[in-house]
Amino acid sequence: MYSPYQLAKKYLRFYRHAHNSKGHGVHSPFVYDFIENVKNSKEIPEQAGLIEAYRGQLLKDERLINVEDFGAGSHLTKGKERKVKDIAAASPKNKKFAQLLYRIARYYQCKNIIELGTSFGITTSYLASASSDNHVTTIEGSPVIAEIAQAFFDKAGYENISLIIDNFDDALPRLLSSKDKVDLLFIDGNHREEPTIRYFESFLPKVHNDTIFVFDDIHWSEEMERAWKTVSDHEAVTMTIDLFFIGLVFFKKEFVVKQHFSLRV
C-alpha cells in the first residue's frame, strides 16, 4: 500500500495527464456521453437521503465489533476489535463515487449486478436503488459487518439485494454457476494483485458486449497497479476509463482499437 505522500504524488501526476472534468479533447463519443450523462450528471436516487443518514449514524457508532482479517489469499486469520465508526470512515465508497456507481448502473440499465465486498452495504444500496427490477448480489466475509448491512437493507425495504456471507473464494464457484451473465461487477475487496486478477478471470465467461467491470483502488498499491495493467491489457477488454480511485472496464466489440482514458472526477 502506498503512503499518503506517495498517493498524493501519484494523484498529482494523474491530474496533470487526465482529461479535465468536462472531457475537453475526448474524441470517443461513448466516453463523451459517459462524461455528460453519467460522470457529471447530478442525478441521485430518492433513497440517497436515507442511505447518507445511515452512513452518518455509522460514523458516530462507537460499538466495538470483532472483524476478521482476510489477509493474504483471503484465508480468515485472527479476529480484531474495531469501532464501527472507524470502519465506516475507511471502507465504504464516499458519497461521490457511490452515487457515480448508482448512475452507471442506472444509465447502462445493468440488471444483474455483483459486488465483491459489501461492508455496511452503502454502495450496495445505491446500486439496488438504480432500478427496482435489477438484482444486486453482494458478498461479505465478516458476519458481524454483514449483519449490520442486512439490517439496513431490511429497514430500507430493499427486496432486490442478496447478501452472501462468505469468503469470496468459497462463495464464487456457486455464484458463478448460478449466473449466465453479469451486467455490472464491482470488485471492492481483497485489494491484492493475484486475487484481483483471479476474480477478473473468473467472471470473464459471464461477460457480454455491454458488461461493465469496476475495480476499486486501482492506484492504491504497486500490486493493484499491476493488477489494473493486467486487466487493461487483457484481449477481452476493449476500453478502460481510469478515474484514479476506481477503474472502469468495457468489453464492447465495436471498440475495434483498444483505448484507455484517464478522466478527472
Ligand X SMILES: C[S@@+](CC[C@H](N)C(=O)[O-])C[C@H]1O[C@@H](n2cnc3c(N)ncnc32)[C@H](O)[C@@H]1O
Q: Which residues bind ligand X (CB under 6 A)?
A: 70, 74, 91-93, 115, 117-119, 122-123, 139-142, 145, 167-168, 188-190
Nearer to ligand X, 34 or 120 (CB): 120
Phi, psi of 222 (to 5 degrees): -60, -40
DSSP 35-79: IIIIIS-----TTHHHHHHHHHHHTT---EEEEE---GGG----E
Q: Which residue sits closest to ligand X, CB atoms considered? A: 141
Nearer to ligand X, 39 or 93 (CB): 93
Nearer to ligand X, 139 or 212 (CB): 139
Nearer to ligand X, 217 or 238 (CB): 217
**How near is the Cβ of 61 to ligand X at its closest, in Å?**
15
**How near is the Cβ of 159 to ligand X at its closest, in Å?**
19
**How near is the Cβ of 27 to ligand X at its closest, in Å?**
32
Nearer to ligand X, 61 or 255 (CB): 61
Is the separation of the CB atoms in 28 and 261 below 8 Å? Answer: yes
**How near is the Cβ of 115 to ligand X at its closest, in Å?**
6
Q: Could you tell me the three cell numbers for 35?
A: 462524461
Phi, psi of 168 (to 5 degrees): -50, -45
**How near is the Cβ of 18 to ligand X at its closest, in Å?**
22
Helix (H) or strand (E) holding 228: helix 222-233
Nearest residue to 15 via CA among 249, 261, 244, 240: 244
